[in-house]
């Protein structure tokens, strides 16, 4: 049996939240949990490694011994990425300081890697900050417990067209459209594609958030179907 077994990858999150640390602790073996918390400095001791942060990404497996504790822990935690990227889970955290209000954190599919600075405190590093800025108290919520949004009414030159939102749609797609709504309060579907993309990118940049990749913007805004 692998040293870090997937223990509850199909378990639904409770309605309130569950921290990243709580999730990882349930997904890896006790030995792997002790190894990881020792490695990132959550359990300072004479033998504390503190050599590296915990990167939850398939790319990390390329440079790790396949049967080691680290590799097994990464493999056990990969379903976190799947649930986050698919929109089944929504993440929130405190940007820059533990006293900041929680805000939604875009998933890894927007173009960055999950690098954990502390498992006990559920701290990750801010994308693009070169490990200088942190996101504290990262928590996940299950979208299955949230109230579905009503259909979106879109007015064209002709009759009103009803576009139904998919219940399992990735949360970051909704966020991208929300940015478009902020950029163009009078509506944006009648505008040129290039103008809309620039407006959305400006909204992300104004909030010091990573701008999603162009193909993701196109899919979220309805300019591409796949």
For residue 163, give its domain range: 152-220
128 plus 54 within the same structural domain: yes
Q: Is the pLDDT of residue 151 over 70?
A: no
- What's the pLDDT score for residue 8? 47
pLDDT value for 124:
93
Are 44 and 37 in contact by the 8 Å Cβ rule? The answer is: no
* Surface-to-core class of residue 124, CB atoms within 10 Å of its CB (0-12 exposed, 13-18 middle, 19+ buried): buried
Whether 142 contacts 157, CB under 8 Å:
no
Q: What percent of the chain has pLDDT over 90?
A: 12
Same domain for 183 and 138, yes or no, is no
How far apart CA 126 and CA 208 sit, in angstroms, is: 10
Whether residue 126 is found in the same domain as residue 203: no
Strand 114-118 with 103-105, pairing:
unpaired
Higher pLDDT, residue 163 or 108: 108
Higher pLDDT, 88 or 153: 88
Name which of 33-37, 76-80, 155-159, 206-210 the model is least confident about: 155-159
pLDDT at 37 over 60: yes
pTM of the model: 0.61
Query: Which tens digits make up the pLDDT trace of 95-120?
Result: 888 888 888 888 887 778 899 999 99
Q: Which residue has the higher pLDDT, 74 or 6?
A: 74
Q: Are residues 96 and 206 in the same domain?
A: no
- For the chain, the domain total comes to 2
Task: Average the pLDDT over 30-54 and give the result.
Answer: 76
**137, 164: one domain:** no
């Amino acid at each position: 049996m692998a040293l870090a077994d997937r223990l509850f990858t199909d378990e639904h999150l409770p309605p309130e939240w569950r921290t990243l640390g709580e999730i990882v602790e349930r997904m890896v073996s006790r030995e792997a949990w002790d190894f990881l918390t020792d490695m990132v400095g959550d359990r300072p001791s004479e033998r504390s490694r503190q050599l590296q942060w915990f990167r939850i990404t398939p790319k990390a497996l390329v440079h790790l011994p396949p049967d080691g504790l680290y590799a097994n822990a990464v493999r056990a935690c990969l379903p976190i990425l799947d649930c986050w990227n698919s929109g089944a889970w929504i993440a929130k955290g405190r940007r820059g300081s533990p006293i900041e209000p929680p805000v939604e954190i875009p998933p890894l599919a927007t173009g960055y890697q999950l690098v954990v600075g502390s498992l006990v405190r559920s701290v990750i590093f801010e994308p693009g900050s070169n490990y200088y800025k942190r996101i504290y108290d990262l928590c996940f919520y299950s979208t299955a417990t949230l109230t579905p949004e009503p259909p979106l009414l879109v007015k064209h030159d002709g009759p009103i067209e009803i576009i139904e939102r998919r219940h399992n749609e990735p949360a970051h797609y909704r966020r991208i459209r929300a940015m478009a709504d902020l950029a163009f309060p009078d509506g944006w579907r009648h505008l040129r594609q290039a103008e809309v993309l620039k407006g959305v990118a400006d909204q992300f940049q104004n909030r010091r958030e990573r701008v999603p990749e162009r193909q993701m913007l196109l899919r979220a805004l309805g300019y591409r179907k796949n």
